[in-house]
Structure 1
């Protein structure tokens, strides 16, 4: 091979190695806020579905007292084709929950994203987060550590063409205000069908909110992984933490 061809081959190799492999889509997550009394939390997940290039936006408003959705939620908007824009789809979803957001004062109480670990983060444990309840400098309060444990469950019939085992999860506090603990704060009794065929989870973040004159509300953001034709899709759960 002459010098010119070698250079061309090397350039092609470098260009190919720089291109990302196709993969399933991981939804972005955006906390919307809390009600003043800390009894309601809302968040949005959104993105562009891999392979078909169709945008989507899902908004969830959760009654934290009984861990159920508020009436008329979740709101799910999805483009009809790849000509739809993500901004338009997100606006449609936001318009549908505008009354809930206004009536509950959610934008007045955004809370704080005190910990966040996206799938692109390579230096952190995907199943553990250590955080303080508030953002301040100098630091205020002692750290908490939240861990996630995956639980095996036999796959339902709808999943068996993809996987033989699906995953549930358990959340455990191993440190509270700097003190060693071993307290389960959430555990799946049975993986709900709404999660489809989960193959794993990532402990993606923690959102907190200080109730005026009251306690600090904590929400774990858990990323649910599902098989996709070109990798794994990721969608979000918000789980109240009650230490």
Structure 2
């Protein structure tokens, strides 16, 4: 796979209308930024308008693809409450704050491939499984992969005491690898990031793929986490087939 392949136009069109389209709360839009050349860092931006207070926000996350943890000193968060605040201003300020890290890892040079995208606005699509290939070609699928998302009850943190729904964590499993069933020892149980600990539902919303030169592919599962008010925020989970 050529590392510069990217379906940016498809993603931009699909993401443009996400904020405000949920039945309640707001669902953040997501924009992948890219990978470091060696595939060890992945970054994405999420943004939207908070339903409470009508506040524009933008956040840029940098993920260590070995550990799945945020890089030290990240993410960068921007909430604008001034009178002339708007989403464009919030996104620009946020990306300006994150630019030094973007340049440090040369992320814009390696966008990766948007292998699949499954937003909640897509009717009839499964919310817990995603099947994709790693080559942007027409015709029958070649060497497909399938990710399966599971949910599990977890002990509710103190910050979630007021939530009247069951608090959930999630697991992720690659159940198909290059067209072959892959159920053995493939399960990854993922700790939910601190700001997502009050989540009550998850959706597998997309997959990114990047091929570093001379190294194994890196897959990123894009997981959408919902809180009890139906606000949706994103989690990037590295997967190493």
- Normalising by structure 1, we get a TM-score of 0.84
> By how many angstroms is 1:136 displaced?
1.9
Deviates more, 1:106-115 or 1:137-146: 137-146
> In the aligned structure 1, how far is the partner of 2:225 from the partner of 2:199?
6
Q: 1:43-62 alignment to 2 at 5 Å?
A: 43-62=44-63
Higher relative contact order (CA 8 A, sep 6+): 2
Q: Say if 2:184 is the partner of 1:186.
A: no
CA contact (8 A) 2:66 2:238 kept: no
Is this contact kept in 1: 2:35–2:110, CA < 8 A? yes
Runs (4+) of structure 1 exceeding 6 A deviation are none
Point out the more displaced range, 137-146 or 94-103. Answer: 137-146
Q: 1:110-189 alignment to 2 at 5 Å?
A: 110-138=111-139, 141-183=142-184, 184-188=186-190
Equivalent position of 1:70 in the other structure? 71
Alignment correspondent of 1:242: 240
- Consecutive unaligned residues of structure 1, counting only runs of 5 or more, are 1-19
**By how many angstroms is 1:240 displaced?**
0.4
* Distance (Å, rounded) in 2 between the aligned partners of 1:35 and 1:191: 24
SS at match of 2:88: helix
Task: Map 1:23-34 onto structure 2 (within 5 A).
Answer: 23-34=24-35
- The alpha carbon displacement at 1:192 in A equals 4.9
The equivalences for 1:205-224 within 5 A come to 205-224=206-225
Shift of 1:65: 2.1
- How far apart, CA to CA, are the structure 2 residues paired with 1:165 and 1:103? 41
Kept after mapping to 1: 8 A contact 2:223/2:237: yes
Query: Which residue number corresponds to residue 103 of structure 2?
Result: 102
Calculate the TM-score normalised by the size of structure 2: 0.85
How many residues end up aligned between the 2 structures? 220
Quick check: which has more Rg, 1 or 2? 1
Greater share of residues in strand? 1
